[in-house]
A and B are shown apart, each in its own frame.
Chain A
Amino acid sequence: MPLNLDAYLGIQPDALEVYSQRGEVLAANLANADTPGYLARDIDFRAALAAASQGQDTSGSADAPLQPETTSSDDVTASSPQDSLSTEQYLKYRVPLAPSLDGNTVDSQMEESAFAQNNVRYEASLTFLEDRFNELTTVITG
């Protein structure tokens, strides 16, 4: 039975991708903490991850990625290769707790804690992946 590496690794690689994108958005918020009129944003994590793990691209199937052909039932099957994940459609503006006079909606403390939380989860996903690879190594080397 061929091993489907994507299925074996589960949702973790997708989660890692979404976490890193979210980290980027949060870093942009923190960098623009003093920019007048800047509106803080965040990613709708649930929707982004759901789309990422299904490998769906809502932009249409016209440029669907090529599927490798299998010539024998022993071939290793590949799940549909994903386009680079686009989380842009899941970007939402943050509702400000205390709007400031210059129109900036970044709350440094909130962004900082969201960033820390995001990083811990990134590390957690990384640990799960690590364990999966260790399992594989154990299976291979005995």
Chain B
Amino acid sequence: MALTNIFNIAGSGMSAESVRLNTVASNLANADSVSSSPDGAYKARYPVFQAVQNSLAAAASSDPLQAADASVKVQGIVQSTTPGTASYDPGNPLADANGYVYSSNVNVVEQMADMISASRSYQNDADVLNTSKQLMLDTLKLGQS
């Protein structure tokens, strides 16, 4: 039954968005972390989303139109390669021989925008789930009133 698939699809969307929110939280928490080497500095993490075809028939077919139901999975987490900034702070215990510390490459404004986008998508999925549940309950009660 198609309505039950919606639970899986919306659920996968919510789980993917919560991974995204997790990475945002991690990035924001480490925005001010410093390190004594450029390589050791915290790098912003981003989840990579991928559509997954649910039915076997859809997966076997080469025609993308055959797949009606596509849930989401987090294919992996990538780290940003943007170089972080080096700042002169000889008083910092983590400073290197020249007195520099290397901060993370997290762009806080970008992370905030990402957070809003993720939470909106999460809300959308939760909404879809709720509505589908209501429709299923109404269908179950068909002819009983």
Binding site for B on A (CB under 8 A): 16-17, 20-21, 23-28, 30-36, 38-39, 41, 87-89, 91-93, 108, 112, 115-116, 119, 122-123, 126, 129-130, 133-134
Contact, CB under 8 Å: B121 / A24? no
User: Count the B residues whose beta carbon is within 8 Å of the partner chain — how many?
Assistant: 42
Interface residues of chain A: helix, strand, loop or mixed (majority): helix
Contact, CB under 8 Å: B142 / A129? yes
Contact, CB under 8 Å: A30 / B51? no
Residues in B neighbouring A25, C-beta threshold 8 A? 68-69
Partner of A35, one of B5, B49, B142: B49
Segment 44-71 of B: residues with Cβ below 8 Å from A: 48-51, 58, 64-71
The A-B contact count (CB < 8 A) is 115
Contact, CB under 8 Å: B68 / A34? no
Give the docked Cα–Cα distance between A31 and B17 (Å): 9
Residues in B neighbouring A32, C-beta threshold 8 A? 13, 49, 51, 70, 72
A24-B9, A31-B12, A108-B121 are known contacts. Are A126 and B138 too (CB-CB below 8 A)?
yes
Give the docked Cα–Cα distance between A20 and B7 (Å): 12
A24-B2, A38-B51 are known contacts. Are A31 and B9 too (CB-CB below 8 A)?
yes
* B135 CB, nearest partner CB in chain A, Å: 6
Residue of B nearest to A129 (CB): B142
Give the docked Cα–Cα distance between A95 and B125 (Å): 22
Contact, CB under 8 Å: A133 / B143? yes
* A55 CB, nearest partner CB in chain B, Å: 18
* A57 CB, nearest partner CB in chain B, Å: 15
